[in-house]
Amino acid sequence: MVRLVLTAILLVLVTACGSIGLLPTSDLVQKAIALGLEQTQQKLSQQLDLDFQGFEIKRLSITQEQPLTIENLPAFRVRGTYDLIVKLPKRRLTQPQQAFDVYLQIQQEGKTWRSLIPEKGSKGTQSTWRSYLVE
């Protein structure tokens, strides 16, 4: 009986959070992906001396949103696919169905989101996260 009551309360809280905008939107996910792509693009431009003109993210499809807690704050692991268009000086490259797996965390005040990237540590140690402001 207690378990049923706790489940009902949790369900109400999750539903309430969704109705006041505490779930990641497609726009937010797209911004988080773009942030990661910009960082990768800058590194590649420097290392390979390429002249990237930018990129576009099209057809974003979210297939999974998994709620979790990271460092005592609510977060979501969001997975899906998107089409990437890379703009070069004389052509555009299209890479369809690129998989993504992003971690997004709402901050304590509930106004901003951060993209979290797990840092690779040695086995047996607790994960640490790099955090970037998305919105």
So where are the chain's domains?
A: 22-133
Residues paired with residue 93 on neighbouring β-strands, in sequence order: 86
Q: Which residues pair with 132 in a beta bridge?
A: 115
Specify the pLDDT at position 7.
Answer: 47
pLDDT one digit per residue (tens) for the chain, 135 residues: 545 444 445 444 554 444 345 789 999 999 999 999 988 888 777 777 777 788 999 999 999 999 999 988 899 999 999 999 988 888 888 999 999 999 999 988 888 999 999 887 656 566 789 999 997
pLDDT score at 77: 96
Helix%, strand%, coil% for the chain, nearest 5: 30, 45, 25
Which stretches within 1-135 are classed as H helix? 2-19, 26-48
The pLDDT value recorded for residue 100 is: 96
How high is the pLDDT of residue 113? 95
pLDDT (0 to 100) of residue 122: 59
Note the pLDDT of residue 121.
Answer: 67
21: phi then psi, degrees, rounded to nearest 5: 85, 25
Residues, the chain: 135
Phi, psi of 14 (to 5 degrees): -65, -45
Backbone phi, psi, residue 12, to 5°: -65, -45
The predicted model scores a pTM of 0.74
Max CA distance (Å), the chain: 66
